[in-house]
């Protein structure tokens, strides 16, 4: 498994407007450096402390994305440097992100994470809840919503996966039209993982989050 070859192959296939977030969770810094040396700069992690440790030892021009469920007591580890938090799904979390954004004197870009999968274990909002979060934004001026994120059901049923991505695209368009019409920054649809990103791209993804396709399979005991 050659990381550089994987990256080149994936980038050749992706439309120019789709950003590749290389999901490096559980992978050592050396592997991230290998991708870095191949020219890649955007990485995603789903554990705040792991992310913070990697940020410390790796080059400072890396753009770090947080992609997993974020516990409020962990926001402090990533607030000083994180480029995008993909997983905002509660007012409680918004409040905490805003607090640490203020402390660090920055605006933190975030995505509204929707629940589009059938599995009940996945986190995320429905449309009504997302609108509630948007209406609370005025109290949290150091948060900027730049779009939406979602994970499709882990299934071989491609029709279902496509339907779920299409649903997320619809939520994006609805919110864009209603709340962010004149906000050029509200433009991201983060959808697509190694097993389903081609469908996601066909359904309008602007950001794919690929771990296995870039770095190879994760160890079972570390699998997230
Ligand atoms: C792990 C993870 C990914 C990447 O998964 P792969 O199937 O390895 O590409 C993408 N998004 C989230 C939220 C993840 O936790």
Q: In angstroms, what is the span from residue 191 Cα to ligand 1's centroid?
A: 10
Query: Using CA atoms, how far apart are residues 2 and 53, in angstroms rounded to an integer?
Result: 24
Residue closest to 113 by CA, chosen among 161, 50, 47, 67 = 67
Asked if 190 and 149 count as a contact pair (C-beta separation under 8 A), the reply is yes
Judge if the beta carbon of residue 160 lies within 6 A of ligand 1: no
Beta bridge partners of 188: 147
Query: Using CA atoms, how far apart are residues 50 and 16, in angstroms rounded to an integer?
Result: 30
Instruction: Ligand 1 pocket test: pick from 24, 44, 215 the residue with the most ligand atoms within 8 Å of its Cβ.
Output: 44
Judge if the beta carbon of residue 224 lies within 6 A of ligand 1: yes
Whether pTM exceeds 0.85: yes
Q: In angstroms, what is the span from residue 193 Cα to ligand 1's centroid?
A: 6
- Other CB atoms within 10 Å distance of the CB of residue 188: 20
Query: Using CA atoms, how far apart are residues 56 and 60, in angstroms rounded to an integer?
Result: 8
Query: Using CA atoms, how far apart are residues 201 and 20, in angstroms rounded to an integer?
Result: 11
Residue 73, exposed/middle/buried by CB under 10 A (0-12, 13-18, 19+)?
Answer: exposed
Query: Using CA atoms, how far apart are residues 1 and 24, in angstroms rounded to an integer?
Result: 15
3-222 belongs to CATH 3.20.20.10: yes
Asked if 205 and 197 count as a contact pair (C-beta separation under 8 A), the reply is yes
DSSP of 158-180, one letter per residue?
Answer: HHHHHHHHHHHHHHHHHHHHHH-
For β-strands 42-45 and 188-190, DSSP reports them as unpaired
Asked if 20 and 11 count as a contact pair (C-beta separation under 8 A), the reply is yes
Q: Which atom of ligand 1 is nearest to the CA of 87?
A: 13
Judge if the beta carbon of residue 23 lies within 6 A of ligand 1: yes
| pLDDT tens for the chain, residues 1 to 224 | 699 999 999 999 999 999 999 999 999 999 999 999 999 999 999 999 999 999 999 999 999 999 999 999 999 999 999 999 999 999 999 999 999 999 999 999 999 999 999 877 668 999 999 999 999 999 999 999 999 999 999 999 999 999 999 999 999 999 999 999 999 999 999 999 999 999 999 999 999 999 999 999 987 554 44
Judge if the beta carbon of residue 194 lies within 6 A of ligand 1: yes
Task: Spell out the domain ranges in the chain.
Answer: 3-222
């Amino acid at each position: 498994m050659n990381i550089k070859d994987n990256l080149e192959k994936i980038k050749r296939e992706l439309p120019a407007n789709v950003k590749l977030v290389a999901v490096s969770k559980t992978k050592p810094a050396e592997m991230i450096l290998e991708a870095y040396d191949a020219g890649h700069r955007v990485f995603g992690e789903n554990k705040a402390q792991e992310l913070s440790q990697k940020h410390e030892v790796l080059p400072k021009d890396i753009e770090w994305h947080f992609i997993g469920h974020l516990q409020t007591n962990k926001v402090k580890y990533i607030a000083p440097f994180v480029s995008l938090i993909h997983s905002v799904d509660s007012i409680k979390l918004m409040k905490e992100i805003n607090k640490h954004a203020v402390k660090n004197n920055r605006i933190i870009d975030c995505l509204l994470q929707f629940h589009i999968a059938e599995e009940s274990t996945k986190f995320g909002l429905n449309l009504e809840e997302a609108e509630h979060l948007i209406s609370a934004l005025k109290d949290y001026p150091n948060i900027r919503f730049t779009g939406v994120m979602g994970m499709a059901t882990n299934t071989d049923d491609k029709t279902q996966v496509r339907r779920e991505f299409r649903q997320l695209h619809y939520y994006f368009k609805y919110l864009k039209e209603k709340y962010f019409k004149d906000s050029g920054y509200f433009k991201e649809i983060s959808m697509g993982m190694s097993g389903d990103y081609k469908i996601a791209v066909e359904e309008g993804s602007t950001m794919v989050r690929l771990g296995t396709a870039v770095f190879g399979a994760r160890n079972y005991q570390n699998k997230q």
